Chains A and B, each alone.
Chain A
Amino acid sequence: QITLKESGPTLVKPTQTLTLTCTFSGFSLSTSGVGVGWIRQPPGKALEWLALIYWDDDKRYSPSLKSRLTITKDTSKNQVVLTMTNMDPVDTATYYCAHKDVVPAAGFDPWGQGTLVTVSS
């Protein structure tokens, strides 16, 4: 059974850097083709894809946020970390991590429960 769980601060101040950790079990990020992605959802709004890291350390970012995002993995700890710099109130959202299966045609499944991050002074 695959599970993922996000952790990190619930409140950050404007201009600060956000660091979120996704801790997972039930799969290995050293398995060929596997990936972990980050998606966010502002309150009452739609989902927004942020970043994805593959088993081979290939990293992909949303172009609109690329300058502010860094995604890394620690295979030995079964963790993926997302950092976002220069946080702004518009970045207030629930942040999810999700598993991307080895099958290229598969979607994100499953997702973590999400963590709500509020940006406010």
Chain B
Amino acid sequence: VIWMTQSPSLLSASTGDRVTISCRMSQGISSYLAWYQQKPGKAPELLIYAASTLQSGVPSRFSGSGSGTDFTLTISCLQSEDFATYYCQQYYSFPWTFGQGTKVEIK
């Protein structure tokens, strides 16, 4: 099983801030990593796949980087609609696993 450490679990930020979320793997996963955004009461939505490829329709202020064991999601200029919970997911090997989530809240 590939273990994932996502941090921080809670991030307080203001509109306009640049924020970064980290996801670290217990072993290398190449670039088989996705990032999802989830708003309260809603299903997760894919933001980034293959570690750095922006899903169609996702604003360019979102970006992903990393390969191997260390990955980062960056929101360059936080907007009001970005306050949500973010999850990373590895799909390099089964069982696929999700991170524990990062809640981005208003400071």
Contact = CB atoms under 8 A, between A and B. Distances in A.
Most buried by B among A104, A107, A112: A107
A48 interface: yes
Interface size on B, as a range, is 20 to 34
Interface string B60-83: 000000000000000000000000
A106 B95 CA distance: 16
Interface size on A, as a range, is 20 to 34
A107 B45 CA distance: 10
A46 B91 contact: no
A46 B49 contact: no
B95 A46 contact: no
Contacts of B100: 46
A111 B43 contact: yes
Closest 7 CB pairs of A and B: A107-B34, A109-B46, A105-B50, A111-B43, A107-B49, A47-B98, A49-B96
A73 interface: no
30 contacts: A39-B98, A46-B87, A46-B98, A46-B101, A47-B36, A47-B89, A47-B98, A48-B98, A49-B95, A49-B97, A52-B94, A52-B96, A60-B95, A61-B95, A62-B95, A63-B1, A63-B95, A105-B50, A107-B34, A107-B46, A107-B49, A107-B89, A107-B91, A108-B34, A108-B36, A108-B89, A109-B46, A111-B43, A111-B45, A112-B43
